[in-house]
Amino acid sequence: MTAAAIAIGLAPLAAVAGPALAQQTPVPGEFAYVNNNGNSTVSRLNTTTNTIVATIPLPPGANTIGSEVTPNGNFYYVANAGIDNLTKIDTFTNRIVAVIHLPAGAQPNGVGITPDSRFIYSTNKGNNTVSKISVADNTIVATITLPLGAASESVAVTPNGAFAYVSNSGLNTVSKISVADNTVVATITLPDKSAPRGVKITPNGAFVYVADNGNKTVSKIDTTLDKVVANIPVGMGPTWLSITPDSAFTYVTNNGSNTVSKISVANDTVVATIPVGTGPRGMWININGTQVYVADHDSDTVSVINVANNTVDDTIHFPAGAGPEGVAFGRHVQVPVKVTKTRTKSSSTSGGIVRSKNENFTGVVATGGNGDKVRKKLGGIDSFVEQVKQRHLNNPAFIKHLQAAGLHG
């Protein structure tokens, strides 16, 4: 991919407003998307300035629900429950590059991605199935059948990539699926009337947290036992969860209380309740674990919570009626550009061999007694390498990319 192509869609660095935001440390290559089911769009955020820098239209009536960025940062997937498909967006260009069609009536709700970025899992609430999709060729490679009436909502893949956990709101259960053979290997029963929605796994892989939307609790599942080990009371209508990178705290949105509960993983207690916008739904913690971004569906905002002091750092405003449903973070891993001074050294051995010691080219050539000529040719190669380097360094598009390296998207 060219430097110019990489630069498309990435926002320039802007001044950061507010003392709370100024304390945050930018993560090179970080970006976020918000899927809006009120106006069938996706918004790209610059997470340094907390501004919308791109808007990607989806088909009318898409009714986007779950979304996620591949761990390698290359693609963003959105589940469109209203039109039975998934949209695949290139995160470098902010363009739709594929649409994965599911059976009519599938109503995809949740999206989960394997850690190696090879497969997508889509929970299909309408037909009690889970689709496994290849990222490489956008095809459905497996369909996992769940019990009748499962009404699956969300899915999360374990950090080791071995299992996917699916919340079944119609049966008050969680299904554990083997990624290797695409079968349900365990079913975990939740409390009666829990109607589970969001599901998240601690980064250390020890626990699964489930938002029990129907009974104002969060269930904690031990992944070694596959059983519920705690039920934590939270606000009304818990919907979605996010967990800090150190596996210390779990956050849950309380859709009916307009709050977010912060839960200690160590002792299963709520340590903070944070007021946010109206109708909070999806949420995501930024890459370095310092802020939580909450999609406030009914107030058309995203609240940015400071993890350290449990207060709202910032509020991002969306167009009226946008209906932010979810947030997903990603990161472009920057490839460092090393520019070094060219040094050329040639030597001839008694066997008629000339070696180039250029840092950018290493060659061994049998000279057959023509050492001087070969030295000359190697010198020409060294000169060519230097010219190519200089040409790229003087290319405005390449310079623009270098200047953008390390900025938030």
| pLDDT (tens place) for every residue of the chain, 409 residues total | 333 333 333 333 233 333 334 345 668 899 999 999 999 999 999 999 999 999 999 999 999 999 999 999 999 999 999 999 999 999 999 999 999 999 999 999 999 999 999 999 999 999 999 999 999 999 999 999 999 999 999 999 999 999 999 999 999 999 999 999 999 999 999 999 999 999 999 999 999 999 999 999 999 999 999 999 999 999 999 999 999 999 999 999 999 999 999 999 999 999 999 999 999 999 999 999 999 999 999 999 999 999 999 999 999 999 999 999 999 999 997 544 454 444 444 444 444 444 434 333 333 333 444 545 544 554 555 555 455 445 554 555 544 554 454 444 4
Task: Look at residue 21 in the predicted model and tell me its pLDDT.
Answer: 40
Task: Write out the two tokens for 277.
Answer: 């916008």
Question: In whole angstroms, what is the distance from residue 91 CA to residue 53 CA?
Answer: 13
Kindly state the tokens that stand for 44. 């790209």
- Please write down the long-range contacts of 295-300, taking CB distance under 8 Å and 24 or more positions apart: 295/34, 295/324, 295/325, 295/326, 295/327, 296/258, 296/324, 297/37, 297/38, 297/255, 297/323, 297/324, 297/325, 298/323, 300/38, 300/324
pLDDT at position 176: 98
Domain ranges of the chain: 15-331, 346-404
Category of 12 on φ-ψ map: left (φ > 0), alpha (ψ -120 to 50) or beta: beta
Residue 359 has what DSSP assignment? T
DSSP secondary structure letters along 112-169: EE-TTS-EEEEEETTTTEEEEEETTT--EEEEEE--TT--EEEEEE-TTSSEEEEEET
Does domain 15-331 fall into CATH 2.130.10.10? yes
DSSP string, 162-214: SEEEEEETTTTEEEEEETTT--EEEEEEPPTT--EEEEEE-TTSSEEEEEETT
pLDDT in tens, 172-188: 999 999 999 999 999 99
pLDDT tens track for 326-358: 999 999 975 444 544 444 444 444 444 444 343
Distance CA 178, CA 161 (A): 9
CA 333 to chain centre: 12
Q: Given the structure tokens 């991002």, which residue do they identify? A: 316
303-341: buried (b, 16+ CB within 10 Å) or exposed (e) per residue?
bbbbbeeeebbbebebeeebbbbbbbbbbbeeeeeeeee
